[in-house]
Chain A
Amino acid sequence: MESKVLQKNLLELIRRTSAELPDDVVRVIEKGWRREEAGSNAKYALKVVLDNIKLAKKKSQPLCQDTGTIICYAELPAWLPQAKFECAFEAAVVQATEVGYLRQNSVDSLTGKNSGNNLGPGSPSFHCSPAKGRALTARLILKGGGCENVGIQYSLPDGRVGAGRDLAGVRLCLLDAVHQAQGKGCGPGILGVCIGGDRGSGYVVSKEELFRPLDDVNPDPRLAKLEKQIMKDANELGIGPMGFGGSTTLLGCKITHRNRLPASFFVSVSYMCWAFRRNGIVLSESGKITRWLYDS
Chain B
Amino acid sequence: MLLEAPFTEDKIRALKVGDMVEITGVVFTGRDAVHTYLHQGGASPVDLSDGIIYHCGPVVVKEGGRWVVKAAGPTTSAREEPYQGDIIRKFRLRGVIGKGGMGPKTLAACRETGAVYLHAIGGAAQVLAEKVIAVEGVHLMEKFGSPEAIWVFRVARFPAVVTMDSHGNSLHARVLAESEAALGRVRQGA
- Asked whether A and B interact, the reply is yes
Distance in angstroms from A152 CB to nearest chain B CB is 15
Question: In the complex, are the beta carbons of A65 and B100 less than 8 A apart?
Answer: no
Chain B neighbourhood of A171, CB < 8 A: 190
Contact A236 B76 (CB under 8 A): no
- Count B interface residues, CB 8 Å: 43
Within the complex, what minimum Cβ distance (angstroms) separates B131 from chain A?
Answer: 10
B2 interface hit (Cβ, 8 Å): no
Determine the distance from Cα of A274 to Cα of B174 in the docked complex, in whole angstroms: 23
Residue among B57, B125, B159, B174 with max Cβ neighbours from chain A (10 Å)? B125
Interface size, chain A (Cβ < 8 Å): 46
Count of CB-CB pairs between chains A and B under 8 Å: 136
Report how far A59 CA is from B18 CA in the complex, Å: 31
Q: Which of A3-11, A181-189, A262-270 touches B?
A: A181-189
A119 at the interface (CB under 8 A from B): no
Report the bound CA distance from A101 to B142 in whole Å: 25
Which of A74-82, A197-205, A240-248 participates in binding chain B?
A240-248
B residues near A238, Cβ cutoff 8 Å: 175, 178-179, 182
A49-B124, A51-B127 known; A244 vs B179 contact (CB < 8 Å): no
Name the segment of B6-14, B43-51, B67-75 touching the other chain: B67-75
Majority-rule SS of A interface residues: loop
- Say whether A52 contacts B125, CB under 8 Å: yes
Q: How far is the CB of A166 from chain B (nearest CB, A)?
A: 12
CA distance A243 to B182 in the complex (A): 14
Are B127 and A183 interface neighbours, CB within 8 A? no
**B155, chain A: closest CB distance, angstroms:** 14
Tell me the complex Cα distance, A288–B142, Å: 45
Interface residues, chain A, with chain B CB atoms under 8 Å away: 41, 44-45, 48-49, 51-52, 55-56, 59, 61-66, 100, 103, 144, 146, 149, 162, 168, 171-172, 175-176, 179, 182-184, 186, 229, 233, 236-240, 242-245, 273-275
Q: Which B residues lie at the A interface, using CB under 8 A?
A: 18, 20, 57-59, 61, 70-73, 75-76, 78, 99-101, 119, 121-127, 130, 159, 161, 163, 171-172, 174-176, 178-180, 182-183, 185-187, 189-190
Sample of 14 more A-B contacts, CB < 8 Å, known A44-B20, A61-B126, A65-B59: A48-B159, A52-B126, A59-B126, A62-B71, A63-B123, A63-B126, A100-B61, A179-B183, A183-B172, A237-B179, A238-B178, A242-B121, A273-B123, A274-B123
